[in-house]
Structure 1
Amino acid sequence: MIDIPGLYRIAVEVAQQAEQAFINGIGARPALLKDAGDFATDVDLEIEQLVRTKLVELTGIPVYGEEYGALDCTLDQPMWVVDPVDGTANFAAGNPMCSILMSLVVNRRPVVGITSLPLTRQRFGAYDSSPLFINDQPQPALVERPEIACHVGFSSVSSRSNSQFPGLMRHGFLAELTKTYLRPRITGSVGVDLGFTAAGIFAGAVSFSPHLWDNAAGVVLAQAAGALVTDLHGDPWQIDAPGVVLGTPRAHATILETMHTVRTQFTHEDLSQEFDT
């Protein structure tokens, strides 16, 4: 029997250790080019090594990290999933919209989630059947607050050519969202978007990332807060889903309706032009 609350507490302790390294390293320059416009800093590598070592030492559960991958583990067994610096471009520029993401996946479902924003001194956390915690304090469930939390997180309008929601469609989606009651905010960090939505700072968020390390922690947080969580088509979210939509009922519905509108507007010719450029 896995002690989920106990593992959550261990993860919080490890996150606290990583936060100081994160703060000390702000403004680090690119050290490893991974793809066009995508890079890691020495701090990404340092924090992942720190978190990986501590989690394995304290729990015996292997780690799947963005920078070093999965070592001797698969998604069919319990596994920690770590993004040491989510929003690395922000981090390198000194922009505080960046975070440490940690989650625990058991039976192909995330059951622990931590999103830490060390530069703003915010740590969002939750585990299976818990409330959302902000800086270790339990929070009430989300409520609709259209007069306040009408922002929607939208981490990036750029995409790789093989994305199921490529750049042209993202541009159209962003334009259509501005016609709704929601106010798009481009943070540059999926973790920040999902965490802010769980906390009620944003009414909703959409992630086009196919990576589990980007989405898993935020899914746990949002579910704990009472947000709706689906994939980009409105179906139940799975760990291999190429993205996630979450938010209050009204925001979630608005995001999906807007997405559907944009999909129907774009022809195959439009998308072929995207892939040819």
Structure 2
Amino acid sequence: MDTQELLAIAQAVVDEAEALFVRGVGTRERHEKAPGEYVTDVDVRIEEYARTMLIQLTGIPVYGEERGGSLGAEPVWVIDPIDGTANYAVGNPLCSILLSLLVDRRPVLAVSSLPLLGRRLTAVEGGGLMINGAPVARLAAQDKGADNGADKDSSKDIAQVGFSSLSSQTRCEYSTEARHRLLADLSRTHLRPRVTGSVGVDLSFAAQGIFAGAISFSPHAWDNAAGALLVGEAGGVVTDTEGQPWTPDSSGLVVGDHVTHALLLSTMRTALSSGAPCAAEQHEEQYVEYHEEQHAGQQHPKETAER
């Protein structure tokens, strides 16, 4: 199958996932899988449905937030059934379904659905960004002067950037204190940070040009892979937090137009250089235990073979 055929399958799977998603908004059926990290029964139902259908229709294994899997050089679907679960559980519309296809450890296909906002972003490598099935113009750099954002045209001062989470501790690279320091430093530039609680929303907004850029501190491919391709296909800059090409092993992601991306990286280097990595060993142990419990006895034949 070529990527367009695979995209059609992915969109059909997301169609049904959206129906499950919308029916469960505000669910109280949620559990804490690690400190500050929640999962709802809807997360699990969406991933199980998507996993079953994607393997059945394409023969390609799945790597997901709730049921795990394996990431390697071979093609693999990557899914976050509900990105922004804490938002979703209380009815906050800033949440999404993220699905991507990785080949040779890079995203070549992506779907980011924001069901409660009526937006679906899609892309295949080299094909540009589509929103609700229509192609969109590529991003333009924010035209800022050397005076840290002072500009006669006040509309150019509205440069929001996504800063999805201040306190998520699971497998994080930087402490909560370091993130607060970075937030304060960014607030002293012309940029206007926004804490949405959803990496998927941040990256989708950056791809659309709603946000001039975004930072993801998540080390997880299910959070970052789809958005990395979407922003790249929209003409944005996509790197890890060190300015190197993003990979599934990266500790985070920085995206934006060229000017904003450069400012985000330079501010991060200053603000985070003195911040110690977060001490989350206990949280990591609980996180791993949760995945081992959830994944035990539920491996599909193709996934088992992949390992």
Q: TM-score, normalised by structure 2?
A: 0.84
Other-structure match for 1:114? 111
Give the superposition deviation at 1:161: 7.4
Other-structure match for 2:53? 54
Alpha-carbon separation, structure 1, partners of 2:15 and 2:166 = 32
Alpha-carbon separation, structure 1, partners of 2:36 and 2:171 = 15
Alpha-carbon separation, structure 2, partners of 1:157 and 1:55 = 34
8 A Cα contact 1:39 1:88, kept in partner: yes
List 4+ stretches of structure 1 deviating above 4 A: none
Specify the code of the residue in structure 1 equivalent to 2:9: I
Look up the SS of the partner of 1:142 in the other structure: coil
Other-structure match for 1:25? 24
Q: Any gaps of 5 or more consecutive residues in structure 2?
A: 144-154, 281-307
Look up the SS of the partner of 1:100 in the other structure: strand
Report which stretch shifted further, 247-256 or 51-60: 51-60
* Pairs within 5 Å for 1:102-181: 102-145=99-142, 147=155, 150-160=159-169, 163-181=172-190
8 A Cα contact 2:171 2:219, kept in partner: no
Q: Any gaps of 5 or more consecutive residues in structure 1?
A: none
Question: Per-residue displacement from partner, 1:232-263 (whole Å, max 9, x unpaired)?
Answer: 01111112101000000011011001101113
Look up the SS of the partner of 1:104 in the other structure: strand
Q: How many residues align?
A: 268
Give the superposition deviation at 1:162: 5.6
Specify the code of the residue in structure 1 equivalent to 2:62: V
Alpha-carbon separation, structure 1, partners of 2:252 and 2:46 = 25
Alpha-carbon separation, structure 1, partners of 2:62 and 2:224 = 16
- Are residue 14 (structure 1) and residue 23 (structure 2) matched? no
Specify the code of the residue in structure 2 equivalent to 1:12: Q
- Are residue 88 (structure 1) and residue 88 (structure 2) matched? no
The share of aligned pairs that are identical, in percent, is 49
Other-structure match for 2:2? 3
Look up the SS of the partner of 1:152 in the other structure: strand
- Are residue 246 (structure 1) and residue 244 (structure 2) matched? no
RMSD after superposition: 1.7
Question: Per-residue displacement from partner, 1:49-73 (whole Å, max 9, x unpaired)?
Answer: 1111111121111111100111xx4
| Higher RCO by CA contacts (8 Å cutoff, separation 6 or greater) | 2
Match of 2:245 among 219, 236, 242: 236
8 A Cα contact 1:102 1:113, kept in partner: yes
Q: TM-score, normalised by structure 1?
A: 0.92
8 A Cα contact 1:30 1:39, kept in partner: no
Match of 2:196 among 175, 180, 187: 187
